[in-house]
Structure 1
């Protein structure tokens, strides 16, 4: 859907540093998602610069101390990605769309500081303007 599919098993080609967002990596969210498919694994690996763990339910960061991402089919917790300002938020939304995310029709409140997107498995997540 917008990016090459990778083999999600450990030991397969990884995401390079140019594909991840320094702004989103700085947020280091402790999160859970409800997908557990290869397309979700590939998408979140590229979006966050994480790598698949030996246990396929987890993605792990390249940096010590950052939280790992649990890809769980039963947990409906969604991911909030924080951008420093509106300019960064717009850039991150465009980058994530290029990786395979899609826009979601949403009833936004007046002055809403977030954009709702879906990953390739239709799991919702938000990109929030922290400066709004």
Structure 2
């Protein structure tokens, strides 16, 4: 079963956003300064991005689970979104019945 692995948050300034959200949530910066991680180890990471829209990243354990979850979510009413994927994409972009996009990520990739 997928879980919320990351919340991608659109911010105009990742440094300022990182300063605010790390203090607001008690998160700490990871090796990548755009990722904020829960200090206590539980919960999704926060991915700060100035170019992407706000959305959820749902993490699957491996490629098999990712494909099964994409099928399951489509059966629940999600639709696949036309997307310009990079060659080494580890994610699939879907939209919920209201058109909100989210990604199903192969976290094992």
Query: 1:82, CA displacement in angstroms?
Result: 0.4
- Structure 1 partner of 2:56: 79
In structure 2, relative to structure 1, the CA distance for the partners of 1:30 and 1:126 (3 Å cut) is: closer
Q: Report 1:1-132 matches (<5 A).
A: 23-24=1-2, 27-29=3-5, 31=7, 77-132=54-109
TM-score (norm 1): 0.46
* Cα separation, 1, equivalents of 2:107 and 2:70: 14
Report the aligned-residue RMSD: 2.4
Q: Higher strand fraction: Structure 1 or Structure 2?
A: 2
Change (3 A) 1:123 1:28: closer
Name structure 1 gaps, 5 residues minimum.
Answer: 1-22, 33-64, 68-75
Report SS of the residue matched to 2:97.
Answer: coil
Q: How many residue pairs end up in the alignment?
A: 69
Structure 2: any 5+ residue segments left out of the alignment?
Answer: 9-41, 45-52
